[in-house]
Amino acid sequence: MAHRLEVAKKLGLNEYESKAYLCLLERGVASASSVSSFGGIPRARVYDVLASLEKKGFVEKKAVKPVSYFAVRPKNVVKKIEAIQRKNFEDSIAEIGGIAASLESQVAYSGKQGDHGQVILLSGWNNIYSKIHEKLSETKHEAVFSTTSKDSADKKRQVFAKKIVELEKKGVTVKFRHHQPSRQTGGAPSRYILFDDQAVLLFLNPPSQSPENDQAVLLENPFVAGFFRKK
């Protein structure tokens, strides 16, 4: 059971959601009270848990009394998740494209010419981690980690603890800040890392429990980095 719970969590479910989904997969169709009893979910929480699963597309309900629920087949759930993540990725790319177009017009207006850097798309946490590590090793003055929560900032501190110590010994300043995206920030992504105001790595999707699904883009461009410095 523990192994199956961990597998279910990789689909983006929390503990209770995983238990409820697995319970419905095993029992076929069940009422909320049955899910509570057989899934080990507090009765006070089971309706919220099932509503969340329904919203996420993991379960559907039958129009009978009492209302009964049944699990959507895992392969169909994965297709939905894939479609949502693809759309989020495409939306993020479109948003970044708009930012880049705006910045390009500013660069053209200033009359600056030459190489404006490169754009590198990264998939999977291992590739993203390697690129962050590489850019941190090149950082000479300051690195800024921007996250959406204190917990996320703490995780980054832990993951890059050894590298941060090395940077600080070299006199490099490492900062952490967290905030939520808003209209006031122009819709700019809130999860990014700045390297010396020369490059910025943007995370394209929210934090997930499936590292292989992580997406990021590295923009090696001081004008773009400067844009995020002001946020």
Neighbours of 10 (CB within 10 A): 14
With bands split at pLDDT 50, 70 and 90, how would you rate the model's confidence at 205? confident
Global pTM exceeds 0.85:
no
pLDDT 10s digits, 95-116: 777 766 666 565 554 444 444 5
- 3-state per-residue secondary structure call for the chain: CHHHHHHHHCCCCCHHHHHHHHHHHHHCEEEHHHHHHHHCCCHHHHHHHHHHHHHHCCEEEECCCCCEEEECCHHHHHHHHHHHHHHHHHHHHHHHHHHHHHHHHHHHHHCCCCCCCCEEEEECHHHHHHHHHHHHHHCCCEEEEEECCHHHHHHHHHHCHHHHHHHHHCCCEEEEEECCCCHHHCCCCCCEEEECCCEEEEECCCCCCCHHHCEEEEECCHHHHHHHHCC
pLDDT 10s digits, 52-72: 999 888 998 887 778 889 988
pLDDT 10s digits, 127-148: 999 999 999 999 999 999 998 8
Contact 18, 5 (CB under 8 A): yes
pLDDT of residue 56: 87
Average model confidence (pLDDT) for the chain?
A: 81
What domains are there in the chain, each with its CATH number? 2-72 (1.10.10.10), 77-229 (3.30.870.10)
